[in-house]
Structure 1
Amino acid sequence: MRRILTLFLSGVALSTTSCNKEIEFISLAMPTPKEEVAGNFEPFNVKISKTTYQTGEQVKFTFTGDAESINFFSGEIYRQYEYKDSRIVDVFNPVISFNTLVNVLPIVRNFQFLVSNDYNPSSTPIYSDLTNSTWHSIDFPITTVANNWKATGDLDLSAYVVPGKPIYFAFKYINSFSNATPPVHLAYYWYVRGLSLKNKITADQSVELSNQTNSGFVEIQGNLTTKGTYYWGADRFYLLGNKSAPAGSEHWVVSKAIHPSQVETGGDIPLPIKSPGASKLISYNQVYSKSGIYKAYFVVKQKNPDGTFSNIIKSVDVTVNN
């Protein structure tokens, strides 16, 4: 009868029989590279040293674990994770721009741009509707060269916004005469083109509310006996006084009511603070300029021990005081 005795010693198995001796080598179960990685793997996490900071103070976010990429939502307006897919805003921060031209020199500034938040026009607007309202004159640059267009740049109208109310804007021509004897009518043609009223959402994002063609201008004469002239074209309009009208007679064109409207601005965009291939990031500093309670989010892609990737979301609450 054959008897087999198998011994395991230091990774070597000795097999004996009654007839011969054989040595069989069997490899030990050594740790695989994947298991080594798993042993050293550290999940991504983030923390701050305290929860309350002052405005202007650096908030230091400290990271543990490595990451392929990190995108940061600070929690400030337009950097909020909650609005990463879509943001609907209902803010009214109007700015307007246009170009003006006047036909003769020397230029008398008898042309004004105005805005109102309490104008209440009749079904057929009349001059008394204007005088019963408060109109704010908005200064704008004018040309010093006849027949030369001058851009105003953005004129901020936000100071005249009243919550729940629309605004109206208008151009006013004041009939003017020289100091000569007898006075000479100053037949100024004031032209406007390129008008655009926008709702400014962010420093670099705005939505147009009205323009040259859809502002709904209504002409209103201050002197119905001797009217001035209003001409509207597809790309420009002009106002002109009447030499038979008294000095100081007013001639207006007034826009339709401009209401704030909800605007889809798209999703908030995070700040990428680490990109794939970059060195390991162990911390990131953020300064908050306004007081408030912020929820900062870190959207992380991390490589797993098996070579796959996980998307990780971590948040930290930060209180900022003045």
Structure 2
Amino acid sequence: MKRSFFIILAGLVVTAVSCTKNMEVDRPDFQVSLNAANLVADTFTYRMGDTTRFQFTGSAGNIAFYSGEIGKRYDNRVVSHRLGQLTLSFASKAEWGTQTNTLKVFVTNKLTGLDSATVVNAPWTEITSRAALATSATVVNSGTIDLTDQVANAEDSLFIAFRYSGVTGSTQRTWTITNYLVNNVFPDQTYNVSSLTTDASFWTRYGNVWSPATARWTATAGDLKITGGTGTAPTNTSWIISRPLYVGRVSPDVSTGIKSINEPDKTGYDYRYNSPGVYKATFVAFNHTLDEEKSVIRELIIKVIP
């Protein structure tokens, strides 16, 4: 009886050891080269539209390619927040009546709630003076309004508000806002943070008087609009506020998969750059199992001329 016990115990030990052993993987033996005739100093030069033939040697289970173009850069593959120049722009027109200073523009990054009391008492910064506003039914473009100073860092949020006021006693103005855009701008790329098209259903409206019923903001994919009342309409203050804008949120750059583990080794890859510039082409070759991954990175600098 004791002998049988020890045999079973030994079997359990062997099983435990085998279950904890990881599946090992080799690092890829993978190299990339270009035609030496195109090499000037440390940069390979091609004409726009030429076929760039990357030549491979060695072996790899998987290969991913980052061309170095906008949206396809290896260095930005895990980026989730970047803050460039934060800009606001819109167009406006003001119809009917002659009341002045009836539209104000505000921003804040410290809005703690969306109830009307919190909104009215929030630490808004008025930026009306930074924008060109209409004085008649002629549409006026605001110009590019720099809001970078209104946020603390790339992970900050921002609210934008338009506040309308109409006073009883004379015809109140009707305002229409179009071409509203908030962008996060870099020298070579622009990320749209907010637009009328994307945010039509996210605007929030507040006001102290809803008589006449039209004296409140409406939001569509084409415009923001508030229709003032006649000279007998009550004094009205009406706000419309954007959703929280996460100003530095960006999408990570992506690669192109050019080989998977179930495909035979490739001898090369053809690519065409269609715009002049200097690009860092990056190949990531990797082998992996369920337990482990090993990779190598190969980079080449390519200059594309007209």
TM-score, normalization: structure 1? 0.50
User: Alpha-carbon deviations, 1:104-155, whole Å to 9, x = none?
Assistant: 3646221011111111224xx32x11222111111210234x2211111221
Say which structure is richer in helix: 2
Partner of 2:150: 160
Return the offset for 1:219: 0.7
Change (3 A) 1:224 1:159: same
Partner of 1:169: 160
Return the offset for 1:191: 0.3
Partner of 1:17: none
Cα distance in 2 for residues equivalent to 1:147 and 1:121: 35
Cα distance in 2 for residues equivalent to 1:85 and 1:165: 25
For the pair 1:237 / 2:221, whether they are aligned, the reply is: no
Cα distance in 1 for residues equivalent to 2:157 and 2:86: 11
Partner of 2:189: 205
For the pair 1:222 / 2:208, whether they are aligned, the reply is: yes
Equivalent of 1:135 in 124, 128, 139 = 124
For the pair 1:258 / 2:249, whether they are aligned, the reply is: no
Cα distance in 2 for residues equivalent to 1:110 and 1:192: 13
Cα distance in 1 for residues equivalent to 2:73 and 2:224: 43
Higher relative contact order (CA 8 A, sep 6+): 2
- Considering only CA atoms, is the larger Rg found in Structure 1 or Structure 2? 1
Cα distance in 2 for residues equivalent to 1:155 and 1:300: 37
Q: Which runs of 5+ in 1 are unaligned?
A: 1-65, 73-78, 178-183, 273-297, 302-322
The residue identity in structure 1 corresponding to 2:133 is: I
Cα distance in 1 for residues equivalent to 2:276 and 2:95: 51
Change (3 A) 1:299 1:231: closer
Cα distance in 1 for residues equivalent to 2:239 and 2:160: 10
The residue identity in structure 1 corresponding to 2:250 is: Q
Change (3 A) 1:266 1:210: same
Cα distance in 2 for residues equivalent to 1:115 and 1:152: 15
Structure 2 counterparts to residues 1-322 of structure 1, below 5 A: 67-68=39-40, 70-71=42-43, 85-87=74-76, 88=79, 90-92=81-83, 93-104=85-96, 106=98, 108-122=100-114, 125-126=115-116, 128-138=117-127, 139=129, 140-144=131-135, 146-163=136-153, 164-176=155-167, 184-200=169-185, 202-215=186-199, 216-223=202-209, 228-242=215-229, 243-246=232-235, 249-259=236-246, 260-264=248-252
Cα distance in 1 for residues equivalent to 2:109 and 2:245: 10
The residue identity in structure 2 corresponding to 1:153 is: G
The residue identity in structure 1 corresponding to 2:152 is: V
The residue identity in structure 2 corresponding to 1:175 is: G
Cα distance in 2 for residues equivalent to 1:166 and 1:176: 33
Identical-residue share of aligned pairs (%) = 14
Please give the root-mean-square deviation of Cα atoms over the aligned residues, in Å.
Answer: 3.4
How many residues matched? 189
Cα distance in 2 for residues equivalent to 1:107 and 1:71: 63
Return the offset for 1:258: 0.9
Q: Which runs of 5+ in 2 are unaligned?
A: 1-37, 45-67, 256-274, 279-298
Preserved contact between residue 223 and residue 245 of structure 1 (Cα < 8 Å) = yes
Preserved contact between residue 221 and residue 252 of structure 1 (Cα < 8 Å) = yes
TM-score, normalization: structure 2? 0.52
Cα distance in 1 for residues equivalent to 2:190 and 2:173: 34
User: Alpha-carbon deviations, 1:221-263, whole Å to 9, x = none?
Assistant: 13467762323333112123444323xx420000111113133
